[in-house]
Amino acid sequence: MTSILADSSKSMKTDRNTYVGNRFVCVKNPHLNSMDEDILYHLDLGTKTHNLPAMFGDVKFVCVRGSSNRMKAFAFIRKELGLEGSEEDMQDICTGTDRYCMYKTGPVLSINHGMGIPSISIMLHELIKLLYYAKCYDVTIIRIGTSGGIGIEPGSIVITDTAVDSFFKPQFEQIILDTVVTQNTELDKELAEELLKCSKEVPDFPTLIGHTMCTYDFYEGQGRLDGALCSFSNEKKLDYLQRAYKTGIRNIEMESSVFAAMCGLCGLKAAVVCVTLLNRLECDQINLPREVLLEYQQHPQKLISIFIKKRLGRYNPK
Ligand SMILES: O=P(O)(O)O[C@@H]1C[C@H](O)[C@@H](CO)O1
Ligand SMILES: O=c1cc[nH]c(=O)[nH]1
């Protein structure tokens, strides 16, 4: 297998710089120009069947979340923004497919991405093309998620500065044909700082900026001892997690690296904001009572709601 190694992050940086000053969402695929029609198969949308600029041209914020139910819960942003209609009125835009659900509330688009890198990657390819065909500009995209914390109090929010892989490297390795291509996984620093500032308005839970480790698996891949398979000791697990902590990693999840890489390459300002459900230095199982779990899942949502309202000039602190 050919390998384009970590140094290619330099060339990726060059790619990213191509978009400095260009406020439009970009795609990096010359083949799209010669296509008469583009069917966004997993979203059940298309360039001939739908007027994408009319449907999505005003989108300024995209919130992506794992599960469709949790994403529906974000519909509360409608009320927060003081827009017309009830939550029940919200129609799933992707009705013809059960892969992803999408809702739009004024300038806010919400879509779910399922679990793991392959699932979010498929969604992002089609979402980014959608934003491009819709001629969207100045778009901010945020992954609102859950994660396992390392050395921090459960319920805390981690705003990711850089996603790292299981070797603690700030990169995402994508296999393209038979080549390993390494992509940069830094997120927008200014956006992360802006979100941290917004967190001062919600002092009931700690919020910090840190590195996020993105893995391909929830169990052995995150150093858990409680999967169907486990090939290492508790000592090895703790040694690994403590080394991760020392490098600045504060949480673990399963989507941030490809999210950072793809959004960075396509001119989207991106952030990853995840609540931590447990402290992995203390346990592996998520045994929170249902109501606490639901409450924790609202932490990043509250923060993002304040951020969007501030950006839109609609924030009135109570
Ligand atoms: O959808 P969320 O943000 O909760 O995603 C994290 C990462 C994995 O997809 C999933 C594992 O439980 O949680
Ligand atoms: O420990 C956790 C919790 C949520 N999501 C993860 O990927 N890991």
| Model pLDDT for residues 242-276, shown as the tens digit of each residue | 999 999 999 999 999 999 999 999 999 999 999 99
> Which of 64, 147, 254 to probe ligand 1 with, by most ligand atoms within 8 A of CB?
254
Please indicate, yes or no, if residue 317 is contained in any of the structural domains. Answer: no
Residue 127, amino acid: L
Residues 6 or more apart whose CB falls under 8 angstroms from that of 240 comprise 223
Query: Burial, 305: exposed, middle or buried (Cβ in 10 Å; 0-12, 13-18, 19+)?
Result: buried
Compute how many other C-beta atoms are within 10 angstroms of the C-beta atom of residue 227.
Answer: 14
227 is in an annotated binding site: no
Please indicate, yes or no, if residue 126 is contained in any of the structural domains. Answer: yes
- Rounded Cα distance between 271 and 265, Å, is 14
Please indicate, yes or no, if residue 47 is contained in any of the structural domains. Answer: yes
- The per-residue DSSP string of 1-13 comes to -EEE-TTHHHHHH
| CA 149 vs CA 42, 209, 256: distances in Å | 32, 12, 14
Please indicate, yes or no, if residue 178 is contained in any of the structural domains. Answer: yes
Question: Is 41 strand, coil or helix?
Answer: helix
How many structural domains are present in the chain?
1
Please indicate, yes or no, if residue 228 is contained in any of the structural domains. Answer: yes
> Which of 74, 119, 147, 214 to probe ligand 1 with, by most ligand atoms within 8 A of CB?
147
The backbone region for 177, taken as left when phi is positive above 0, alpha when psi lies in -120 to 50, beta otherwise, is left
Q: Which domain holds residue 119?
A: 2-311
How big is the CA angle at 150 (ends 147 and 153), to the nearest 5 degrees? Answer: 85
Domain CATH code at residue 152: 3.40.50.1580
Per the prediction, the chain carries an average pLDDT of 91
Please indicate, yes or no, if residue 318 is contained in any of the structural domains. Answer: no
Please indicate, yes or no, if residue 316 is contained in any of the structural domains. Answer: no
pTM: 0.93
Query: Measured from the CA of 145, which atom of ligand 1 is nearest?
Result: 3
Question: Is 263 strand, coil or helix?
Answer: helix
Inter-residue long-range contacts of 122-126, CB under 8 Å, 24+ positions, other chains counted = 122/42, 123/42, 123/43, 123/64, 124/258, 124/259, 124/262, 124/263, 125/262, 126/40, 126/41, 126/42, 126/43, 126/45
Helices and strands (H, E) in the chain, number of each type: 9, 13
Query: Burial, 251: exposed, middle or buried (Cβ in 10 Å; 0-12, 13-18, 19+)?
Result: buried
Pick the range with the lowest mean pLDDT from 32-41, 71-80, 109-118, 144-153.
Answer: 71-80
What is the interface pTM, i.e. ipTM, of the complex? 0.98
146 is in an annotated binding site: yes
Residues 6 or more apart whose CB falls under 8 angstroms from that of 12 comprise 182, 183, 184, 261, 264, 265
Read off the tokens for 91. Answer: 């129609």
| Model pLDDT for residues 7-65, shown as the tens digit of each residue | 333 333 335 544 445 799 999 999 999 999 999 999 999 999 999 999 999 999 999 99
16 is in an annotated binding site: no
Query: Measured from the CA of 146, which atom of ligand 2 is nearest?
Result: 4
Please indicate, yes or no, if residue 303 is contained in any of the structural domains. Answer: yes
Q: Locate tokens 């291509």: which residue?
A: 181
